Amino acid sequence: MTPLQQISAPLLAWYDAGHRSLPWREIVSPYRTWVSEIMLQQTRVAAVIPYFQRFMAAFPSVEALAAAEEGQLMALWQGLGYYSRARNLHKAARDIVGNYAGVFPDNFADIRKLPGIGDYTAGAIASIAFGEAVPAVDGNVLRVVARLTDCEENILSPALRRRVTAELQAVIPRDRSGDFNQAMMELGAMVCLPNTPPRCEECPCRAFCQGYESGRAASLPVREKNAAKRRETYTVFVLRRAGSEAVVQRSSQGLLASLWEYPNVLGTLSETEAARQLSGWQVVPHKWLKKEKKRHIFTHIVWDMTVYTIEITGDGCKEWCWRNHDNAADYPMPTAFSKLSKH
């Protein structure tokens, strides 16, 4: 028998004996499972919990989310990153209200058609909320399976993902598919850890784990090197006036669409060039407070920023608004910028 053909009973027994209590597990509904799975993409559980609780308090149902103002939604999402997730949640909520009379679609194929939902998330919702026997395969599950099967293929390969999905589809228990998928996630999060040696001594699968037997588990999975990230260079101006800072809204398309940012220009400006830029914006520097180098790393892009923090006089460009401690929620700002200042 292969490791995957043996995994179900010991894995579920281990899961039943104790697993993390998480807010989206306390009350299970398709809506809650969906929101939690979207928030958990690329984001740690500990970071998600307070966002999930605030989100559920503000939008307790799919109807409430569909009726939300985008600004309110983005303010709640501020700091969580990958903002297209929030926009897709919003679009999908409107889709569910408009096309499914507000009732969450109850099967993998229909769930998969909603905006922002891929195979993994559709599998998670269909199995956890509706008991459909479909696997949910993400990077954590691929890592666990690569170690269990002592597989040295590149786990970023779509062919391997398809094969693992098919193998799990064949062994997933029909009566406990949601628990099985959650147990796989739990094993990846608590025992068969990423970027660190797996805790094989605590693992319910050790007896049949081929990576453990070969001694190679800690060096798996094999991950083809990521393509080099694109680098972009900016000069960013944190311009302060009477306790507020100048902000401007980003384009409604592309990276961080419609969020707010500090005025900035492409390239690295010297102080003389920066002073010329300020005069072009018709503001007068009153006090140069600091010049810093900052970096922000996105999935595919790295921003290298030279940041000037300056007290100014003058109104600046007509597109600018003035953000401060009291009105910050009206100007949601991505972490790439909010980490540059205190407001």
Choice among 37, 132, 186, 261 that is catalytic: 37
Q: How far is CA 313 from CA 236, 260, 279, 307, 318, in A?
A: 18, 21, 11, 18, 15
Residue at 112: amino acid letter: R
φ, ψ for residue 224, nearest 5 deg: -60, 140
Among 38, 141, 144, 336, binds ligand SF4 (CB under 6 A): 144
The residues, any chain, with a CB within 8 Å of residue 231's CB and separated by 6 or more, are 301, 302, 304
Interface segment toward ligand SF4; rule CB under 6 A; list 64-72, 141-149, 247-255, 272-280: 141-149
Provide the angle, in degrees to the nearest 10, between the axes of the packed helices 45-58 and 70-77. Answer: 150
Catalytic residue check, 37: yes
**CA nearest neighbour of 153 among 163, 138, 165:** 163
The 151-190 site mask, x for binding ligand SF4 (CB under 6 A), equals: ----------------------------------------
The 229-258 site mask, x for binding ligand SF4 (CB under 6 A), equals: ------------------------------
State which residue, 92 or 209, has the beta carbon closest to ligand SF4: 209
Q: Which of residues 205-234 bind ligand SF4 (CB under 6 A)?
A: 205-206, 209, 211-212, 217
> Min. distance of Cβ 4 from ligand SF4 in angstroms?
11
Q: How many CA atoms lie within 13 A of 60 on its CB side?
A: 2
With binding defined as CB under 6 A, does residue 274 bind ligand SF4?
A: no
> Min. distance of Cβ 221 from ligand SF4 in angstroms?
10
Strand partners, 323: 245
Among 92, 203, 236, 305, binds ligand SF4 (CB under 6 A): 203
Interface segment toward ligand SF4; rule CB under 6 A; list 65-73, 130-138, 195-203, 238-246: 195-203
With binding defined as CB under 6 A, does residue 142 bind ligand SF4?
A: no
**CA nearest neighbour of 313 among 336, 279, 337:** 279
Q: How far is CA 127 from CA 108, 130, 133, 134, 289, in A?
A: 8, 5, 6, 6, 55
With binding defined as CB under 6 A, does residue 137 bind ligand SF4?
A: no
Structure tokens belonging to residue 311? 């007290």
State which residue, 211 or 285, has the beta carbon closest to ligand SF4: 211
Q: What does the binding site for ligand SF4 look like in residue numbers (CB under 6 A)? A: 144, 147-148, 191-192, 198-200, 203, 205-206, 209, 211-212, 217
Enumerate the active-site residues. 37
